[in-house]
A = this chain, B = another copy of it.
């Protein structure tokens, strides 16, 4: 797998002090949606070995928060990924996913899961393009299979899985 770094960007593992910076840009990067609840600080304390931050001249450009499942020894889980709106379309998300896949392979994980909300059409297309399949679920919205009440009542999700 060629993991050449996109031009002018640096990458490093995430660290606890990244948390407040990332919380502060969430709404901007997600078109006004407030997803703060999905990123409690614990994700920046306990999963830094499999999570990354990309920067350009010290400015946050992208991040991926993922972990090797402790309970499912063949699986990795990508919890949250963001790319600065001005830097979309350059393959940065794909690069981050490939980096995470590489770590998973090195740790004998062959199945990666992720999920998104049906409203996030960009994320659905992105995962399809990478090669994820969408799990069967129990309903459908606009032709996309979804799983209802996933994290709580009235919280439909699109569930993705890929074998690497």
- A residues within 8 Å of B by Cβ? 20, 23, 36-42, 45-50, 67-72, 75, 77, 79, 149-153
The contact of A46 among B38, B72, B150, by CB within 8 Å, is: B72
A24: nearest chain-B partner, CB-CB: B153
Contact status of A45 and B67, CB under 8 A, knowing A23-B152, A151-B40, A152-B23 = no
Known: A40-B151, A41-B150, A68-B70. 20 other contacts (CB 8 A): A20-B149, A23-B152, A37-B37, A38-B40, A41-B151, A42-B79, A45-B77, A46-B67, A46-B69, A46-B70, A46-B71, A46-B72, A46-B75, A46-B77, A47-B71, A49-B71, A50-B70, A50-B71, A67-B70, A70-B70
A70 touches B41 (CB 8 A): no
Task: Report the bound CA distance from A23 to B151 in whole Å.
Answer: 9
Q: Which residues of B contact A67 (CB under 8 A)?
A: 46, 70
Q: Which residues of B contact A153 (CB under 8 A)?
A: 23
Task: Report the bound CA distance from A152 to B49 in whole Å.
Answer: 22
